[in-house]
Amino acid sequence: MVILITGISSGFGLETARLLVQEGHTVYGTVRREVEKLPGVYYLKLDVRDREAVRSTVQQVVDKEGCIDVIVNNAGMGIGGPVEFATEEEIREQMDANFMGLVHFATAVLPSMRKQGEGKIIAMSSIGGVMGLPFQGFYSASKFAIEGYCEALRLEIQQFGIQVVVVRPGDFSTGFTASRKKTPNAEAMQAYRTYAESMAKVEQDETGGLKPQVLARKISQIIRKRRPRYGYVVASFEQRLSVLLKRILPARWFAKILGSYYKL
């Protein structure tokens, strides 16, 4: 299969590219900067926020390979802090990288997938895409947007034999934790006295989380499945349970549980 993965410089993208090329797939991956390259992977340097660059790059792959069978929309970033203190620039960067990057690639790849009558679009959401995480409000918002977009997209394109699968990781030990942009504003720290403690809890959970190879194996399984589920939660038992509780408990009850966990 010809597979295109966005954001393969580290973490999920890197390990997924590594595994899929080992399995014999033709793998293309996007990066924004120069990185040490994996053998057998074709690297594409671009910013997923640049719609025209995405369109041009996708067309180059289709022209060379004849098709793109699977796209894994993995590229993204995170900002942390009270939503009150997020700047306009931070909010736009968050939404553009996580949500609009997905939109750009899906829009670019759909014409060729419709023509071939099949394909898979795998979108990286998060358990933060089904529950609003405190002090990661705009990260959650970007993932909620992915959930809604994919739900609508799935219905629109199922007539063409194209599948849309949403993957919702929990806490993983990757470089994402260190690269998260956090509000350094002294006023924010003073106004929200639990902010520092809550973010410390988040980072502790992430650094002690699952390894990215776990998610790479799940993506490989999804690619191989003829009829994959609409969505997968890839997380610890406790986090999978939290997703279930979000669905079945009254909103007020679940809010108390989540607030207590983050010491709010």
Report the distance separating Cα 20 and Cα 53, nearest Å.
Answer: 25
66: helix, strand or coil:
coil
Q: Which of 120, 140, 142, 143 is the catalytic position?
A: 143
Q: Are 244 and 131 in contact (CB under 8 A)?
A: no
Q: Which of 28, 112, 120, 139 is the catalytic position?
A: 139
Quote the tokens at residue 107: 């829009």
Q: Which of 125, 140, 198, 242 is the catalytic position?
A: 125
Concerning whether 143 is annotated as a catalytic residue, the answer is yes
- Within a 10 A sphere around the Cβ of 26, how many other Cβ atoms? 18
Report the distance separating Cα 126 and Cα 202, nearest Å.
Answer: 14
Concerning whether 246 is annotated as a catalytic residue, the answer is no
- Within a 10 A sphere around the Cβ of 181, how many other Cβ atoms? 14
Concerning whether 179 is annotated as a catalytic residue, the answer is no
Q: Which of 9, 126, 140, 198 is the catalytic position?
A: 9
- Within a 10 A sphere around the Cβ of 79, how many other Cβ atoms? 22
User: Which residue numbers are catalytic?
Assistant: 9, 125, 139, 143
